[in-house]
């Protein structure tokens, strides 16, 4: 039988194999991360009819080459273009990930690890990151609970939607700062009510509160008092106010600022310690006969007076209600404590009996007057509360801190007279419960001309550039999204502004990636020629690679090249078929010789 027949058959088979490879490439032209293959031919074997002989120097005869007749062709190798990067396809899905570089994702079916370039992932019902096509778990590294950093140990399934990860725990506020401008010409700052500043903070359970502060200008326009007036919860209910609120911030201080105080209308008069509006008795200090009785403001008294019509009226009124009435008479309605803390220089005598001046608060004067309403001592009614309802104040007592500025530069110089002191503590722990003390920094305040408008504000958290925002506190946060970084780090984003590291996608790198064995479903397994996977993997950025989210790697099949190869394969197949046809014709002629 003619050898050419078998050579033709071998050629047909080999070109058919090449066509199979080409067909598979074209079939997978749109398969995610598919890597095209190519085939290399090699001759099958040769029949040697005469071996080569060497030259004979003695006889002068040269050497003769071997005589060999080839017996066909075979498939030498089928190579995978596994290092050829496919183009990117944008999907917009945050769990679609494309690897740039030579690394592979590691996935697991529960028994063994596989490797893939197909980054089409989703989160399954258990919260695990998994392959969309097979459901195999994507493997990576977990977060060390002690350090909060990634621990590169043996890869495990990445469970990113666990119950613990769905929320971010609340935290109590521990630091805050005030910044902005206090303009000394701001009418709010110079008014009796002062410039209001609110600080929002959280307790340890994530409930939000508002601390309401007030800046007031001193007679020295470079100094301001800062006082806490009240604390409200998120629904507007008062948590602390009045003396309870004042006790939470700063300490006792005096602010000197001259001012005149008088009745807000002419209907009010004082009569031996009794405040009247017309004939109506508004307050009777004579009933406050024991030192310190004004501190028991819930004590109830009876105010008796003759009506204009002649009838006698007895009405109950607590000490607090009477103090409120006195403050209102002097134009401090709703600001009783501010009125009671006003300071007055009272003429008196020293221990030697010489004339002197004593600085007393209205509260002290009323307490003394309550013991002696006729004014028979050095703190008489006429000295503080003249019958015409007018007196001068030199300042006031307050509980808080004094904030000072440099009059030449406008910059903050310290609190409570201490240039090195820049912080004061809001003692919220005194309220008990889940509150924590808040350290408030004032170093960013300034006193510049801002057209009469102050921009001072309070912000929770540290203002140190190295720890900016630390200690701001937060409410309970719900997960609102997941983001994957270029290095495979997975972060959860929460609606309280926090982020949490959930894990990192690990990758595998092989010395000979072409030696991987295809397992279907875009998966590969390691072989002896690819190199083994160590079970830990590598960071994708270690060798210059990266991950891109919202994108998938497309097939690297080049259709123009495949069609060209298909043409040459077709011609090769045709040529080999002609070998068989011609060989058959020759055999036919041979058989016809016997006719």
- List pLDDT tens digits, range 558-578: 999 999 999 999 998 999 888
Q: Are residues 186 and 252 in the same domain?
A: yes
Q: Are residues 336 and 251 in the same domain?
A: no
Q: Are residues 93 and 151 in the same domain?
A: yes
Which pLDDT score is estimated for 28? 93
Mean pLDDT of 512-541: 93
Mean pLDDT of 267-292: 79
pLDDT digits (tens, 9 = 90+) for 260-279: 999 988 889 888 778 888 88
Place of tokens 């600085």: 359
pLDDT at residue 240 is higher than 50 = yes
Residue 68's pLDDT band (cuts 50, 70, 90) = confident
CA nearest to 503, candidates 524, 480, 482 = 482
Q: Are residues 268 and 367 in the same domain?
A: yes
Give Cβ neighbours of residue 376 (< 8 Å, ≥ 6 apart): none
Residue 195 and residue 451: Cα distance in Å, rounded?
15
Q: Are residues 55 and 93 in the same domain?
A: no
Residue 283 and residue 274: Cα distance in Å, rounded?
6
Give Cβ neighbours of residue 353 (< 8 Å, ≥ 6 apart): none
Mean pLDDT of 547-560: 94
Residue 449 and residue 183: Cα distance in Å, rounded?
6
Q: Are residues 441 and 518 in the same domain?
A: no
Q: Are residues 426 and 277 in the same domain?
A: no
CATH code of the domain containing 198: 2.60.98
Which pLDDT score is estimated for 377? 43
Residue 62 and residue 19: Cα distance in Å, rounded?
46
Query: Percent of the chain beyond pLDDT 90?
Result: 60
In a domain, 390, yes or no: no
Residue 74 and residue 79: Cα distance in Å, rounded?
15
pLDDT at residue 101 is higher than 60 = yes
Mean pLDDT of 401-421: 93
β-bridge mates for residue 417, sequence order: none
Mean pLDDT of 419-445: 94
Please say which residue of 467, 490, 523 terminates a domain.
467
Mean pLDDT of 462-473: 92
Distances (CA, A) of 502 to 109, 139, 541: 21, 13, 18
Q: Which of 87-96, 158-167, 308-317 has the lowest mean pLDDT?
A: 308-317
pLDDT at residue 382 is higher than 50 = no
In a domain, 317, yes or no: yes
Q: How many C-beta atoms lie closer than 10 Å to residue 199's C-beta?
A: 22
In a domain, 393, yes or no: no
Residue 56 and residue 62: Cα distance in Å, rounded?
6
Domain of residue 337: give its range. Answer: 264-341+360-374
Residues 427, 437: contact at Cβ < 8 Å? yes
70: helix, coil or strand?
strand
Q: Which of 14-28, 128-142, 343-357 has the lowest mean pLDDT?
A: 343-357
Q: Are residues 561 and 538 in the same domain?
A: no
In a domain, 126, yes or no: yes
Beta strand 489-494 with 129-131 is: unpaired
Mean pLDDT of 104-130: 95
**How many structural domains comprise the chain?**
4
Residues 277, 268: contact at Cβ < 8 Å? yes
Residue 291's pLDDT band (cuts 50, 70, 90) = very low
pLDDT at residue 293 is higher than 70 = no
Mean pLDDT of 469-484: 93
Please say which residue of 436, 467, 498 terminates a domain.
467
Mean pLDDT of 169-187: 95
Which pLDDT score is estimated for 290? 47
Which pLDDT score is estimated for 459? 96
Place of tokens 């396809």: 89
Q: Are residues 282 and 364 in the same domain?
A: yes
Please say which residue of 467, 493, 526 terminates a domain.
467
315 vs 368, higher pLDDT: 315
Which pLDDT score is estimated for 345? 87
pLDDT at residue 292 is higher than 70 = no
Distances (CA, A) of 144 to 105, 158, 297, 485: 22, 14, 58, 18
Q: Are residues 547 and 574 in the same domain?
A: no
Q: Are residues 280 and 369 in the same domain?
A: yes
- What angle, rounded to 10 degrees, do the helices at 559-591 and 3-27 form? 160
In a domain, 354, yes or no: no
580, two tokens: 């068989």
pLDDT, mean over the chain: 89
Residues 553, 33: contact at Cβ < 8 Å? yes
Q: Are residues 270 and 249 in the same domain?
A: no
């Amino acid at each position: 039988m003619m050898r050419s027949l078998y050579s033709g058959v071998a050629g047909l088979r080999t070109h058919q194999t090449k066509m199979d490879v080409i067909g598979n490439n074209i079939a997978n032209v749109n398969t995610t991360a598919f890597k095209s293959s190519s085939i290399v031919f090699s001759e099958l074997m040769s029949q040697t009819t005469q071996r080569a002989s060497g030259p004979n120097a003695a006889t002068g005869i040269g050497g003769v080459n071997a005589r060999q007749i080839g017996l066909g062709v075979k498939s030498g190798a089928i190579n995978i273009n596994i290092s050829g990067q496919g183009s990117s396809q944008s999907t917009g899905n945050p769990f679609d990930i494309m690897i740039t570089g030579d690394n592979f994702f590691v996935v697991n079916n529960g028994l063994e690890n596989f490797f893939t370039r197909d980054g089409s992932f989703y989160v399954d019902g258990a919260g695990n990151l998994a392959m969309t096509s097979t459901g195999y778990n994507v493997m990576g590294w977990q977060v060390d609970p002690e350090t909060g950093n990634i621990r590169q140990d043996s890869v495990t399934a990445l469970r990113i939607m666990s119950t613990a990860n769905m929320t971010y725990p609340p935290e109590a506020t521990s630091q805050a700062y005030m910044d902005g401008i206090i303009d000394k010409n701001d009418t709010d700052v110079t008014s009796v009510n002062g410039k209001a500043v609110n600080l929002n903070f959280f307790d340890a359970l994530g409930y939000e509160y508002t601390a309401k502060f007030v800046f007031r200008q001193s007679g020295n326009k470079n100094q301001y008092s800062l006082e806490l007036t009240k604390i409200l919860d998120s629904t507007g209910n008062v948590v602390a106010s009045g003396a309870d609120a004042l006790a939470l911030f700063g300490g006792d201080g005096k602010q000197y600022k001259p001012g005149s105080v008088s009745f807000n209308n002419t209907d009010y008069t004082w009569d031996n310690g009794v405040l009247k509006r017309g004939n109506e008795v508004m307050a009777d200090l004579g009933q406050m006969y024991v030192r310190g009785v004004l501190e028991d403001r819930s004590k109830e008294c009876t105010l008796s007076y003759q009506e204009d019509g002649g009838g006698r009226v007895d009405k109950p009124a607590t000490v607090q209600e009477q103090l409120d009435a006195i403050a209102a008479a002097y134009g401090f309605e709703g600001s009783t404590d501010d009125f009671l803390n006003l300071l007055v220089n009272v003429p008196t005598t020293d221990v030697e009996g010489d004339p002197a001046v004593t600085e007393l608060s209205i509260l002290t004067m009323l307490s003394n007057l309550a013991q002696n309403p006729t004014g028979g001592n050095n703190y008489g009614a006429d000295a503080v509360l003249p019958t015409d309802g007018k007196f001068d104040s030199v300042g006031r007592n307050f509980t808080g801190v004094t904030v000072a500025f440099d009059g030449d530069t406008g910059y903050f110089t310290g609190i409570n007279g201490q240039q090195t002191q820049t912080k004061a503590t809001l003692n919220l722990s005194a309220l008990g419960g889940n509150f924590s003390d808040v350290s408030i920094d004032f170093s960013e305040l300034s006193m510049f001309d801002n057209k009469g408008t102050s921009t001072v504000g309070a912000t929770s958290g540290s203002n140190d550039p190295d720890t900016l925002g630390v200690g701001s506190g937060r409410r309970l946060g719900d997960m609102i999204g997941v983001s994957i970084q270029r290095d495979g780090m997975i972060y959860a984003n929460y609606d309280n502004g926090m982020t949490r590291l959930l894990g990192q996608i690990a990758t595998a790198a092989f010395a000979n990636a072409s030696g991987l064995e295809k397992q279907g479903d875009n998966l590969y397994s390691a072989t002896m020629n690819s190199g083994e996977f160590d079970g830990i993997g590598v960071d994708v950025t270690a060798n210059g690679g990266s991950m891109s989210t919202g994108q998938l790697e497309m097939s690297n099949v080049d259709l123009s090249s495949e069609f060209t190869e298909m043409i040459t394969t077709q011609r090769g197949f045709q040529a080999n078929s002609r070998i068989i046809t011609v060989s058959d014709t020759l055999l036919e002629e041979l058989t016809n010789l016997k006719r």
